[in-house]
Homo-oligomer: A and B are copies of this chain.
Amino acid sequence: MTQPRWLDSEEKAAWNAFLEASHRVERRVEHHLREQEGLSHPQYEILVRLADEPERQLRMTELAESLLTSKSGASYQIGKLEKAGLVRRSSCPGDDRGVFAVLTEEGMAKLNRVAPGHVELVRSSLIDLLSREQLAALTDALDTVGRGLED
């Protein structure tokens, strides 16, 4: 077998910075939403995805793909949100297998209530830490990565 192409010091620095930043940010966001707003980050993201839809609804599979999570994970979280009254399940006309997750009025209200604090946290965790140039370069690089890893 051929020699592995080891990472040089710059590449190692990039990888470590990536791991550290993503863990720290994720940890911070999760903790804030949990403590301050009573939502997990996945749950918040679900509300956002649904609110972005014209009909405020998404098929379970679409939702799972959008969240980059498993179908069972999406099913579990929708169950939680349903119990909390923020989302309801609705059958899908024309496809009896299908299930829509629909944002309720209460869910929309909850999102509107929670969003300002979340945005502030996103700012203090990422956006406001960087200059406009750094932010643009970050977006450029991470978009490239995201596109490169599309299924």
Q: How large is the interface on A (under 10, 10 to 19, 20 to 34, 35 or more residues)?
A: 35 or more
Contact A142 B18 (CB under 8 A): yes
Contact B10 A142 (CB under 8 A): no
**CA–CA, A139 and B23, complex, Å:** 15
Q: A11: nearest residue on chain B (CB-CB)?
A: B127
**A18 CB to nearest chain B CB (Å):** 6
**CA–CA, A45 and B97, complex, Å:** 41
Contact B145 A21 (CB under 8 A): yes
**A81 CB to nearest chain B CB (Å):** 19
Q: A17: nearest residue on chain B (CB-CB)?
A: B142
With known contacts A130-B145, A149-B125, A18–B7 Cβ distance under 8 A: no
Q: A151: nearest residue on chain B (CB-CB)?
A: B24
User: CB within 8 A of A138: which of B4, B18, B126?
Assistant: B18
Known contacts A4-B119, A13-B139; 7 additional CB pairs below 8 A are A4-B116, A14-B126, A19-B45, A22-B25, A22-B26, A27-B68, A137-B141
